[in-house]
Chains A and B, each alone.
Chain A
């Protein structure tokens, strides 16, 4: 079955701690994305990557970091600099970016991050 997996489903962060959220896809998609979802708000883009070893900041990148060492994987690290990290984090992928018909994004099941 092709799809996007995210782990863990729930993650608890202590103050001052960095935590990493995993995102893996076996759809052979080039582009991958990280979003943050807060109650009553639309999804907000944190980072995106069009190809391996390249990524771009989204609208709310401060306090987050990513890497794209493999096509299949796009982990997100929530650093201690992110002062309000409690949210539902969603990873997505698309065939490509900016080309009609290839930009539809497919989402993973999400990771809920809570602060202890």
Chain B
């Protein structure tokens, strides 16, 4: 059975303090890995799709990387507006979501 585990569950950082969020997965035949951002009470906003190990994608202060077992979402010099829950999902036989990492950036 395909599984996705995100860690940590919650992360609190100071503004400008860089860090990484982890998405570990087990899937039979990875067809894609997705990162989303979700603000409270709103729908997830698409960030990245990664298809193969070694692939990287960047958007502003965010960079997503992919290995055969996990993906990292690196946040460089975050700002308070980066505070949100970040969701990871893997596409094998079907799309499976992790439970998310709640990120808080303090000014």
Contact = CB atoms under 8 A, between A and B. Distances in A.
Interface of A: 4, 6, 40-45, 88, 90, 92, 98, 100, 103-110, 112
A104 B46 contact: yes
Contacts of B96: 42
Interface stretch (B14-22, B37-45, B56-64, B67-75): B37-45
Given A103-B32, A110-B43, A45 B99 contact: no
B43 A41 contact: no
A90 B51 CA distance: 25
Contact of B87 (A43, A45, A104): A43
B46 A110 contact: no
The 7 closest A-B pairs by CB, nearest first: A42-B97, A107-B43, A43-B97, A107-B44, A110-B43, A42-B99, A109-B43
Contact of B34 (A42, A44, A45, A104): A104
Nearest to A111: B43
Contacts of A107: 36, 43-46
B98 A90 contact: no
A90 B44 contact: yes
20 contacts: A4-B43, A41-B99, A42-B98, A43-B89, A43-B97, A44-B97, A45-B94, A45-B95, A88-B41, A98-B31, A103-B31, A103-B32, A103-B95, A104-B32, A104-B34, A105-B34, A109-B42, A109-B43, A110-B41, A110-B43
B100 interface: yes
Contact of B4 (A6, A42, A90): A42
Contacts of A43: 44, 87, 89, 97
A36 B94 CA distance: 16
A6 B41 CA distance: 13
B99 A40 contact: yes
B94 to A, nearest CB: 7
A108 B43 CA distance: 6
A103 B91 contact: yes
Contact of A104 (B4, B42, B49): B49
